[in-house]
Amino acid sequence: MIKEKIILYASGSNIIVDFEEVCLKNNITISAIINNQKGSPSYATFQEKVTDISQISSIDLSIPFLCPLFTPCNRFVAVTEALNLGLQPYQILSDRNNDLPYNFKHGEGCFINKRVVIGSQSKIENFVFINRSASLGHHLYLDNFVSIGPGVITGGNVTIERGSLIGTGAVILPEVKIGKHAIVGAGSVVTKDVNDYSVVVGNPAKKIKENNIKF
Protein backbone atom coordinates (compact mmCIF):
# COMPACT_ATOMS: atom_id res chain seq x y z
CA MET A 1 0.00 0.00 0.00
CA ILE A 2 1.37 3.40 -1.04
CA LYS A 3 1.36 5.93 1.79
CA GLU A 4 -0.04 9.40 1.20
CA LYS A 5 2.42 12.27 1.29
CA ILE A 6 1.99 15.84 2.42
CA ILE A 7 3.98 19.08 2.63
CA LEU A 8 3.51 21.35 5.64
CA TYR A 9 3.95 24.93 4.47
CA ALA A 10 5.04 27.38 7.24
CA SER A 11 6.77 26.06 10.34
CA GLY A 12 6.76 29.22 12.46
CA SER A 13 3.90 28.25 14.78
CA ASN A 14 4.01 25.67 17.57
CA ILE A 15 0.64 24.28 16.44
CA ILE A 16 2.62 22.44 13.75
CA VAL A 17 3.31 19.65 16.26
CA ASP A 18 -0.39 18.72 16.20
CA PHE A 19 -0.29 18.52 12.39
CA GLU A 20 2.72 16.22 12.65
CA GLU A 21 0.98 13.98 15.19
CA VAL A 22 -2.23 13.68 13.17
CA CYS A 23 -0.20 12.82 10.06
CA LEU A 24 1.55 10.04 11.99
CA LYS A 25 -1.74 8.66 13.35
CA ASN A 26 -3.26 8.72 9.86
CA ASN A 27 -0.21 7.03 8.32
CA ILE A 28 0.60 10.03 6.14
CA THR A 29 4.23 10.74 5.27
CA ILE A 30 5.43 14.30 5.80
CA SER A 31 7.57 14.83 2.72
CA ALA A 32 8.82 18.28 3.69
CA ILE A 33 8.21 21.14 6.09
CA ILE A 34 8.82 24.51 4.49
CA ASN A 35 10.06 27.41 6.58
CA ASN A 36 8.64 30.34 4.61
CA GLN A 37 10.09 33.07 6.85
CA LYS A 38 13.83 33.44 6.34
CA GLY A 39 15.69 33.44 9.65
CA SER A 40 12.62 32.66 11.76
CA PRO A 41 12.59 29.66 14.13
CA SER A 42 10.91 26.40 13.16
CA TYR A 43 8.72 24.69 15.75
CA ALA A 44 8.54 21.38 13.92
CA THR A 45 9.36 18.18 15.79
CA PHE A 46 10.93 16.68 12.68
CA GLN A 47 13.60 19.31 12.13
CA GLU A 48 15.37 17.09 9.61
CA LYS A 49 12.43 17.63 7.25
CA VAL A 50 12.53 21.44 7.45
CA THR A 51 13.52 23.14 4.20
CA ASP A 52 14.12 26.85 3.85
CA ILE A 53 11.95 28.64 1.30
CA SER A 54 15.10 29.50 -0.65
CA GLN A 55 15.56 25.77 -1.33
CA ILE A 56 12.03 25.24 -2.69
CA SER A 57 13.48 23.91 -5.98
CA SER A 58 14.49 20.74 -4.13
CA ILE A 59 10.86 19.97 -3.21
CA ASP A 60 8.48 17.83 -5.27
CA LEU A 61 5.74 20.39 -5.90
CA SER A 62 3.29 17.71 -7.00
CA ILE A 63 2.83 16.73 -3.34
CA PRO A 64 -0.15 18.57 -1.78
CA PHE A 65 0.31 20.97 1.12
CA LEU A 66 -1.40 22.14 4.29
CA CYS A 67 -0.68 25.34 6.18
CA PRO A 68 -0.30 24.91 9.98
CA LEU A 69 -1.07 28.50 10.99
CA PHE A 70 -4.08 29.26 13.20
CA THR A 71 -4.58 33.01 12.70
CA PRO A 72 -6.71 33.50 9.56
CA CYS A 73 -4.74 36.42 8.06
CA ASN A 74 -1.40 34.65 8.54
CA ARG A 75 -2.81 31.47 7.02
CA PHE A 76 -4.19 33.43 4.06
CA VAL A 77 -0.76 34.97 3.35
CA ALA A 78 1.05 31.62 3.57
CA VAL A 79 -1.55 29.80 1.48
CA THR A 80 -1.34 32.48 -1.20
CA GLU A 81 2.47 32.08 -1.26
CA ALA A 82 2.20 28.32 -1.58
CA LEU A 83 -0.36 28.51 -4.38
CA ASN A 84 1.80 31.05 -6.25
CA LEU A 85 4.70 28.58 -6.02
CA GLY A 86 2.57 25.98 -7.79
CA LEU A 87 1.69 23.85 -4.77
CA GLN A 88 -1.81 22.37 -4.57
CA PRO A 89 -3.77 22.01 -1.33
CA TYR A 90 -4.33 18.73 0.46
CA GLN A 91 -8.07 18.10 0.78
CA ILE A 92 -8.59 17.64 4.52
CA LEU A 93 -6.48 16.34 7.41
CA SER A 94 -8.61 15.13 10.31
CA ASP A 95 -7.68 13.04 13.31
CA ARG A 96 -9.00 9.51 12.70
CA ASN A 97 -10.89 9.50 16.02
CA ASN A 98 -12.96 12.62 15.34
CA ASP A 99 -16.75 12.29 15.24
CA LEU A 100 -17.75 13.64 11.82
CA PRO A 101 -21.15 13.02 10.19
CA TYR A 102 -21.48 10.78 7.15
CA ASN A 103 -22.97 13.70 5.17
CA PHE A 104 -20.20 16.13 6.14
CA LYS A 105 -19.09 18.39 3.26
CA HIS A 106 -15.72 20.11 3.12
CA GLY A 107 -13.51 22.14 0.84
CA GLU A 108 -9.75 21.82 0.44
CA GLY A 109 -6.82 22.73 2.65
CA CYS A 110 -8.71 22.03 5.90
CA PHE A 111 -7.41 20.76 9.24
CA ILE A 112 -9.46 19.23 12.06
CA ASN A 113 -7.49 18.56 15.21
CA LYS A 114 -8.10 15.86 17.82
CA ARG A 115 -11.34 15.09 19.76
CA VAL A 116 -13.65 17.18 17.55
CA VAL A 117 -17.38 16.52 17.18
CA ILE A 118 -19.38 17.99 14.28
CA GLY A 119 -23.14 17.63 13.89
CA SER A 120 -25.10 16.39 10.89
CA GLN A 121 -25.66 18.37 7.67
CA SER A 122 -22.60 20.56 8.29
CA LYS A 123 -20.29 22.13 5.72
CA ILE A 124 -16.91 23.84 5.84
CA GLU A 125 -15.28 25.65 2.93
CA ASN A 126 -11.58 26.01 2.03
CA PHE A 127 -8.59 26.42 4.41
CA VAL A 128 -10.64 26.06 7.59
CA PHE A 129 -8.86 25.26 10.88
CA ILE A 130 -10.79 23.53 13.70
CA ASN A 131 -8.71 23.08 16.82
CA ARG A 132 -8.94 20.31 19.41
CA SER A 133 -11.99 19.37 21.48
CA ALA A 134 -14.45 21.63 19.63
CA SER A 135 -18.09 20.54 19.69
CA LEU A 136 -19.96 21.99 16.74
CA GLY A 137 -23.70 21.58 16.24
CA HIS A 138 -25.78 20.40 13.29
CA HIS A 139 -26.16 22.49 10.11
CA LEU A 140 -22.92 24.31 10.84
CA TYR A 141 -21.45 26.45 8.06
CA LEU A 142 -17.85 27.69 8.15
CA ASP A 143 -16.66 29.91 5.30
CA ASN A 144 -13.12 30.13 3.88
CA PHE A 145 -10.23 30.72 6.32
CA VAL A 146 -12.32 30.43 9.48
CA SER A 147 -10.44 29.44 12.65
CA ILE A 148 -12.13 27.63 15.54
CA GLY A 149 -10.21 27.59 18.83
CA PRO A 150 -9.86 24.71 21.29
CA GLY A 151 -13.01 23.74 23.18
CA VAL A 152 -15.40 25.95 21.23
CA ILE A 153 -19.08 24.96 21.45
CA THR A 154 -21.73 25.95 18.92
CA GLY A 155 -25.44 25.23 18.83
CA GLY A 156 -27.24 24.18 15.68
CA ASN A 157 -27.58 26.30 12.53
CA VAL A 158 -24.59 28.52 13.27
CA THR A 159 -22.91 30.35 10.39
CA ILE A 160 -19.39 31.77 10.61
CA GLU A 161 -18.27 33.82 7.64
CA ARG A 162 -14.92 34.27 5.91
CA GLY A 163 -11.78 34.86 7.95
CA SER A 164 -13.39 34.94 11.38
CA LEU A 165 -11.68 33.61 14.49
CA ILE A 166 -13.49 32.04 17.45
CA GLY A 167 -11.35 32.03 20.60
CA THR A 168 -10.71 29.19 23.04
CA GLY A 169 -13.77 27.96 24.92
CA ALA A 170 -16.24 30.39 23.34
CA VAL A 171 -19.90 29.36 23.18
CA ILE A 172 -22.14 30.36 20.25
CA LEU A 173 -25.87 29.82 20.73
CA PRO A 174 -28.11 28.28 18.04
CA GLU A 175 -29.11 30.26 14.93
CA VAL A 176 -26.34 32.85 15.41
CA LYS A 177 -24.43 34.30 12.45
CA ILE A 178 -20.85 35.55 12.86
CA GLY A 179 -19.93 38.06 10.14
CA LYS A 180 -16.75 38.03 8.09
CA HIS A 181 -13.38 38.84 9.70
CA ALA A 182 -14.95 38.98 13.16
CA ILE A 183 -13.15 37.89 16.34
CA VAL A 184 -14.89 36.25 19.29
CA GLY A 185 -12.78 36.43 22.45
CA ALA A 186 -11.86 33.37 24.50
CA GLY A 187 -14.61 32.23 26.85
CA SER A 188 -17.23 34.55 25.37
CA VAL A 189 -20.90 33.57 25.09
CA VAL A 190 -22.44 34.81 21.85
CA THR A 191 -26.21 35.14 22.06
CA LYS A 192 -26.91 37.21 18.93
CA ASP A 193 -25.47 37.91 15.48
CA VAL A 194 -22.04 39.53 15.22
CA ASN A 195 -21.41 42.10 12.48
CA ASP A 196 -18.54 41.98 9.98
CA TYR A 197 -15.13 43.04 11.38
CA SER A 198 -16.42 43.18 14.96
CA VAL A 199 -14.35 42.09 17.97
CA VAL A 200 -16.65 40.82 20.73
CA VAL A 201 -15.91 39.55 24.25
CA GLY A 202 -17.74 38.66 27.45
CA ASN A 203 -20.94 36.97 28.61
CA PRO A 204 -23.02 37.99 26.84
CA ALA A 205 -20.54 38.96 24.15
CA LYS A 206 -20.38 42.67 23.34
CA LYS A 207 -18.45 44.57 20.71
CA ILE A 208 -15.34 46.33 21.98
CA LYS A 209 -13.67 47.41 18.73
CA GLU A 210 -13.26 46.83 15.00
CA ASN A 211 -10.89 44.29 13.46
CA ASN A 212 -8.82 46.31 11.00
CA ILE A 213 -7.08 43.29 9.45
CA LYS A 214 -8.84 42.56 6.17
CA PHE A 215 -7.91 40.16 3.38
Percent of the chain past pLDDT 90, that is, above it, reads 84
5-90 and 93-210: identical CATH topology = no
pLDDT-based confidence at residue 66 (cuts at 50, 70, 90): very high
In the predicted model, is pLDDT for residue 1 greater than 70? Answer: no
Confidence of residue 58 (pLDDT cuts 50, 70, 90): confident
pLDDT at 212 over 70: yes
90, 127 contact by CB (below 8 A): no
Is residue 38 predicted with pLDDT exceeding 80? no
Higher pLDDT, 50 or 182: 182
pLDDT in tens, 162-200: 999 999 999 999 999 999 999 999 999 999 999 999 999
Q: Length of the chain, please?
A: 215
The pTM score is 0.95
Domain segments of the chain as ranges? 5-90, 93-210
* 68 prior amide bond cis, ω within 30: no
Which segment of 35-49, 99-113, 134-148, 172-186 scores lowest on mean pLDDT? 35-49
- DSSP, collapsed to helix, strand or coil, labels residue 79 as helix
**Average pLDDT, stretch 91-114?**
96
Contacts of 73 (CB under 8 A, 6+ apart): 163, 213, 215
DSSP-assigned beta bridge partners for residue 183: 165, 199
Tens-digit pLDDT profile for residues 137-165: 999 999 999 999 999 999 999 999 999 99
Whether residue 110 has pLDDT greater than 80 = yes
CATH number of 93-210: 2.160.10.10
Q: Quick one: pLDDT band at residue 128, thresholds 50, 70, 90?
A: very high
What are the distances in angstroms from CA 115 to CA 52, 150, 210?
32, 10, 32
Which pLDDT does position 22 carry in this prediction?
A: 96
Strand 117-118: give its sheet, edge to edge.
Answer: 117-118, 135-136, 153-154, 171-172, 189-190
- Please tell me the predicted confidence (pLDDT) of residue 67: 97
pLDDT for 47 beyond 90: no
Q: Which CATH number fits domain 5-90: 3.40.50.720, 3.40.50.300, 2.160.20.10, 3.10.510.20?
A: 3.40.50.720
pLDDT range class, residue 2, cuts 50, 70, 90: low
